[in-house]
């Protein structure tokens, strides 16, 4: 019913826009949904079965009239982030991970808000798949991927194994030394891997909330 209402609203606005623009050559594009999401997302680890709160983020979905959309499907798509892997079990019954598609899916509540904490890590050191630089993740509402938000995705667990620890530190140093701004190691989303990212990594390591990697990382 709600979907029907939204489609009707979209049709009315498109019709109105088309009528008023009949004499103009410039096309008017009306977004069918409005998606508000952060520009960076952290794949996190867990401790004693509890996902690290650092990874928590929210996505808000509204219709073209700016009304919150309830029960809208929200997809976090990491298919372009070749070095990053989600955990097969998100430790959250409201999130569904599709390892093959490399997506995590949840749904909005009555306020139009979907809440995620994504478990995962990087296999950048061991995979030939292209690693992501910049905002190569995408958050969208099907069937409107073009109206989504691009996000940079990082991970403190850079080997996807045994939580955040010494080997991850070594891998971060390798990323730093490479001079390549791999998104996985750019924790402040500055567009480069530097001292502030190291400080953030050390903070995570010190507080211990990502001491556990997942039992099964998506292949």
Dist CA 181 CA 92 (whole Å): 31
Closest CB to Ca ion among 149 and 200? Answer: 200
Choose, by CB under 5 A, the member of 63, 77, 83, 168 that binds Ca ion: 168
- The minimum distance between CB 161 and Ca ion, in angstroms, equals 5
Q: What residues numbered 34-63 form the site for Ca ion, per CB under 5 A?
A: none
Choose, by CB under 5 A, the member of 159, 201, 209, 218 that binds Ca ion: 159
Point out which span in 1-9, 12-20, 148-156, 158-166 binds Ca ion (CB under 5 A): 158-166
Residue 102 contacts residue 86 (beta carbons within 8 Å): yes
Residue 30 contacts residue 14 (beta carbons within 8 Å): yes
Closest CB to Ca ion among 35 and 41? Answer: 41
DSSP class per residue in 44-106 = B-EETTEE-GGGEEEEEEEETTSPBPTT-EEEEE-TT-TTEEEBS--S-TT-EEETTTTEEEE
Site track for Ca ion across 104-143, x = CB under 5 A: ----------------------------------------
Residue 134 contacts residue 121 (beta carbons within 8 Å): no
Site track for Ca ion across 80-109, x = CB under 5 A: ------------------------------
Beta-carbon-side half-sphere exposure of residue 204 (alpha carbons within 13 Å):
33
Closest CB to Ca ion among 32 and 124? Answer: 124
Dist CA 117 CA 162 (whole Å): 19
Choose, by CB under 5 A, the member of 2, 94, 190, 216 that binds Ca ion: 190
- The minimum distance between CB 217 and Ca ion, in angstroms, equals 11
- The minimum distance between CB 98 and Ca ion, in angstroms, equals 23
Q: What residues numbered 169-188 form the site for Ca ion, per CB under 5 A?
A: 186, 188
Q: Which residue is nearest to Ca ion (CB)?
A: 190
Contacts of 21 (CB under 8 A, 6+ apart): 27, 28
Per rule CB under 5 A, count of chain residues that contact Ca ion: 9
Dist CA 217 CA 181 (whole Å): 24
DSSP state of 183: G
- The minimum distance between CB 177 and Ca ion, in angstroms, equals 14
Dist CA 43 CA 143 (whole Å): 25
Q: Which residues bind Ca ion (CB under 5 A)?
A: 157, 159, 161-162, 168, 186, 188, 190, 197
């Amino acid at each position: 019913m709600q979907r029907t209402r939204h489609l009707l609203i979209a049709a009315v606005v498109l019709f109105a826009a088309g009528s008023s623009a009949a004499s103009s050559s410039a096309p008017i594009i009306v977004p069918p949904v409005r998606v508000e999401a952060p520009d960076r997302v952290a794949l996190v680890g867990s401790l004693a079965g509890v996902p690290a709160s650092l990874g928590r983020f929210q996505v808000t979905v509204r219709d073209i009239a700016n009304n919150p959309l309830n029960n809208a499907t929200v997809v976090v798509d990491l298919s372009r982030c070749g070095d990053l892997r989600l955990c097969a079990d998100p430790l959250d019954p409201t999130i569904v991970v599709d390892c093959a598609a490399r997506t995590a899916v949840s749904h909005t509540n009555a306020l139009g808000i979907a809440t995620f904490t994504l478990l995962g890590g990087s296999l950048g050191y061991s995979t030939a798949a292209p690693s992501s630089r910049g905002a190569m993740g995408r958050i969208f509402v099907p069937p409107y991927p073009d109206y989504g938000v691009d996000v940079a995705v990082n991970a403190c667990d850079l080997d996807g194994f045994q939580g955040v620890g010494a080997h991850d530190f070594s891998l971060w140093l390798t990323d730093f030394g490479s001079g390549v701004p791999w998104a996985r190691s750019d924790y402040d989303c500055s567009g480069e891997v530097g001292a502030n990212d190291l400080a953030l990594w050390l903070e995570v390591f010190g507080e211990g909330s990502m001491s556990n990697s997942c039992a099964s990382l998506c292949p």
